[in-house]
Every structure is written in C-alpha cells, then in structure tokens.
Structure 1
Amino acid sequence: WRALVAQWDRIGDDVVAAALRPFPPVRPASRLLRTLGTGDALRLARMLVQPVARMAQEHFGGRAAPLLLAGNALHTDLGPDSAAGAAYGWLLAMLGQRVGFPVPAGGAGALTGALVARLTARGGRIDCGRPIRTVLVGPSGRASGVVDAAGQRVLARRAVLADVDAPRLYRDLVGEEHLPARFVADLARFDWDFSTVKLDWALDGPVPWTAPGARSAGTVHLGADVDGLRRYSADLTAGRLPGDPFLLFGQMTTADPTRSPPGTESAWAYTHVPRGLGWGRDEVLRWADRMQQVVEDHAPGFGSRVLARAVAGPADLQGRDGNLVDGAITAGTSAVHQQLVFRPVPGLGRADTPVPGLFLAGASA
C-alpha cells in the first residue's frame, strides 16, 4: 500500500490533471511520460485498464486492500472484474488516502451556493422554474439561444451550455434533424448506468458500529467481501435484484459537525438496482427496509436510533432532478466503452457537440 501511495505522490497531480482536463490531456500526459519513462508509463497504463480485482491480486496477498480498492471502484458502476475498474479504484483510494473524501460544510447546497455566488458576482442572472423547451439552431447550424416552455426566447451571444443528460439534450432540445445521421445512430447505443435507491436518516446518536474504525469514517462500505461484490455486480448486469446489496454509507455529522446537533448523526446510504423495475412506493420501501437491515447487521441497535427516515427510489430521484433518469446518478455508464473519446458517443470526449456554439456541461460529457 505504501508503494502505491509513493507512486501516487510522484505522479498524482498529473493523473488528476489528465482526468479533469479536456481530452486529449496532452500536457499532463507528456509530464507523466517524462516522469515515468516509457517502460513505467506502459506499466501504469496496463494497471489502469485492468479489472480492479486483478490489479489488487498482483499487488497484495491479504484481503483488506483488495476490498478497499474494489469498494472504491464501485463508487462508479464497475464491478471487481470490469475492465478499467483499477483506474477508478486506485484513483479514488489514493485521493482518499491523501486528502480524504471532502464534503461541503453545511450541506451539499453549499456547492450550488458557491457557484451561484461566483456567477452573480460577475453579472450573471439565474432564472429558476423556467423549463427550456428547445435549443435554437439557426440556418448556419449554430446554436443561437433557447426557447422556454412559455415560448420566450433567450439569445446567446457566445454559447449555450446544457447541463442535462446527453439523450435529452440531443433528442428533445436540439432535435435529430439538426444532427448528423451517424451521430443519431451512435446515440441510440448510449448506455445508462444502473438505477439507485437512497435513504437519509436523522439519528439521535452515533451509529453503533461493531467495527471501531467505522465510527470515525465519513464514508463506509457495507455488505460484501470481494466475492460478494462480484455477485452484486453480476446480479445488476443480469437485471436481477442483488442478493447481497452493497451500500455506500455516509456519516455526514461525523464528517461535518454542522450537519446536525451535537451528539446526533445525519446519515445516508445508497445502493444500485437494475434499470426499468418500474417500482411503486411499496416496492421501494421494502427494498429500503432491506438496506437498513444491512446497516443493522453491522451496527446492532441502529434502528432504535432512527428519529426520521426519508426514502428515494429511482422515480423519486428523477422527479426531483430530471437528469437522474430512472435513478442513474452518473448520466451514463462509467465503463470504458463510454469514457474518454467514447463519451457520450464515439469521437467526442470534450464538452463540444456536433452543433457549433452548443456545449454539453453535464455528467454525460
């Protein structure tokens, strides 16, 4: 593990730059090549495209490190044997090792607040509750603005940035008639990620974990060893409800004491389920009870500390945010066939779209 961390300390800044900048990341990639040399750069590339279980097997003999890496890979929708899962497991584990998993003080709304403040300080204006019906595409093929649901136009001097999922942007807001036929055909192959069920709890005390280390962790992985993660991923891929749900559990007051009064805990958990279940409220609540039982198995007495619980199934998530289509939280699978130059369709990999002046600003990019 220390060897992986030492490797990260040597190249991590360039890896993060390569991951976050528009593709292709020429400068960070060039620095990585200079730092590592050709041989070690190829070894790193081999590691990154591996399934995370294979990568862990090559580095470790015990059970703890492989489970930590595989659990981090599952923060995406990639199971232990998925190609390129090692890239996500390694990246998230090393970021967690060096900087933790930071959360915004006061709640996730603080992120939105910061973005709004940045925009308004520069003269921007935000109109909420104003759905957009159409992206205007002029005779030259360039995006010139948008039309809202009331038929009012908003013209763009420079560009239109669309923070929506890719299928809705291109099919509903732009229209296939403004897109190349090959692009429309590629869009038909767009691959969504799995659906999600999320629980939020208000607790009158800390979570009574049986594992002491979990008591101080902001993020906890629950429910399966590496083989269990394999079964969980296989069930999802086959369209079956997982026999052993894997939960990501957040202890928000542990991470940020401003989230709830002293001595209490604000917590959440989510897990994935197959797409297209069409669940009603009763089915969602039954699955939520099963999720809570997983927590109870690792923290006996958890249920007795619950003051209130909120449950969101796939339809609830989409109802609150239209981008979470059927509860998909990454706006398309994170698998390698839909990343980099293949995201959201082959040949892109940047925020650019086939329509000049229109940019895809959401997670589908």
Structure 2
Amino acid sequence: GSTMEIARWLGWPILLVVPCRNAGRSITAAINGFIAEAGGEELFSGIILNQVNTESHAEYLRKACSTLEVPILGALPEIPELNWPERHLGLQPGVEQKLADANELAEIAEKYFDLNLLVKKFPALSASVKQKNTQHSTPQNFSKRIAVAQDEAFHFYYAANLEWLRQQGAEIVSFSPLHDSHVPENVDALLLGGGFPEVFAEKISTNKSMLSSLKKTVESGMPTYAECGGLMILAESMKLRSGQNLAMAGVIPGMVEMTKRLQHFGYCKIALPEKGEVRGHEFHYSQWSAETNRANLWDVTRHSTGNFRKEGFRTANLHASYVHLYFPQAASLIAEILRIYPKELAKC
C-alpha cells in the first residue's frame, strides 16, 4: 500500500524525492538501490534532490548523479517557511497549519526546478492516464442523519468512509467536541473518529456540556461508532504524559493513558462470525487501562506477527476500538453498528 506500490499498480510516473542533507557521492548508491527495489528505472520519470545544504552542494550532487539513468529535475534547499512540523503520529495535520501561498510556491519551483524538463517528463495525466469515472450517485432523500465529530481534535477519516455512508443514504451532520456544547439534535447515529484528542485534552475536559451530552447520547441507546480518538474521549479519563489526569465522557470504564512508546502499529485482521474477515489498521501512543479485564469487542490479530489480543469495548449500541476500518471492506459490520439497512449495500 505504499505510494510507490500504488503508482506501480496504476502505471503512473514516479518522481523520486531524495533527502540529501549532508549527503555525499554515496547518495547515488541509495538511489540506485531504491530504483532497483521498485522494479527498474523505466518506472521513474525524474529525481528531486531535497534539502541540499548549499548551491555548491547541489552542484556536487548533480555531478555525482550524472551516471544515473533517471534525470535530476531539481535540487531544493531547506526552506524554513516550507517546513512541516512532526508529531508523535506523523506530520502535524493540515487543519493546524497555514499553507504556503501558491505564488510563493511557484517562485520557488521556477528557481530550483527544471520546469521545462519536468513538464516534458510529466505530461497532463488526463492525456496519458485513462481513469475510470469514480463518481457515485448520492441519494437525494436521506434515510439517516449521522453526527460526525470533525474539528482540530477529530479528523482522522478516510474520505471513502464518509462517501460510503452518503451512498447508503446517510446525511453527514458535522459537529465539534471542542467548540460545540452538545451533540446535534435529530440524528440517528453518532460517529467519533480518530485524531489528536490528547493534544486538546484540557479543552475537551473543560467542555463539560459536550462531555455530558456525549454520555447521555450514547447511554440513551443511540448507535455509536468510536474509533481510536473516539474511544479515548468516551473513557472515564485521559492521563497525559505530564501525569495530568483529565476527566472525559465516562462512557467506557477505565482510563486512557498516553505513553512514550508506540503501543500498536500496523495492519490487523479480525474474523467475525457470519461476516467474514475485517481488515484494519492501528497506530497509537496510548493504552486503555481496562483492556486486559474489560475488552469484549473482538480478537485482533496482528498481520505481521500473527499475535492476537482481546480488544475494544461494546454495549448493545456502542462499538469502540483502536482499530481504524475501511467501511466499504467492512460494509455489513458498519451497517449493523450504525443500523443502516438499505435494500442493497453500495459497493465502492
């Protein structure tokens, strides 16, 4: 599922961006190794040397790479304005960053890239790659209204998941656990996705009206799907790395504790009676303190090792898990959780 692998499947040209800070001639060996591992130079249309130290360093690397079969299309120095901060789960989300001005980016591209060669190597994809029409009809008359948490703290959603819900006749009603005072009214189900609730934990904890609304909503019997960050906000409390323990909604027993080490990472699978195998992904630096004694949702098997553990929490109307699912692959399960029962589930 890497970018390279997907490009190879689709037959798309690959632009290889190589980190070059303090690099010497050995960078060519690394590039050749990567190209060979990917399947050969015919898959690559060009190379960008990234984070070169100086203009003379860039020229030195260009000469070193002159023996490569794939052309160098540019050498970009480190530009502080374009630095994108990292966080424990990867890059800081775009919703928290101000994007660079398009005109400034154009000037940078003109200065450091061979645009004529780049355009020649990457003709308009519409002319070279025939894509299937992926548009799907969306029902005009919605049969369900689903409240979806969407703000700075909760935004880890596959776009295809929300699109799949719309295809089933669901209207997405966005709300903010950070800024709103209660769950939207007149909704049929609740979806709490992943994100960075730990970064905004103090603000979440002080929004007592929202936490109370979440608790009342779930305990009233509303179908609820809580995924990773969603599980965290529904716990009794969240303990930060600083040792501060902050109250959460109190729907799920026990505390969620932030950890310095990655707890679970990678693809996983779950065998469900009568529904087949569900595949998912985990990536989190927190642990649910009651998992050993109170986990009752399912057995999760790690794809890379085959190890499994009891994970997640459920009630008659609540599905809470650290596992991120791709809804079209887990269609029957999601339909059951959110109680979406169209005559025929749409396929993506």
TM range (shorter): under 0.3
Larger helix share, 1 or 2:
1
Indicate the structure (1 or 2) with the bigger Cα radius of gyration.
2
TM-score scaled by length of structure 1: 0.22
Higher relative contact order (CA 8 A, sep 6+): 1
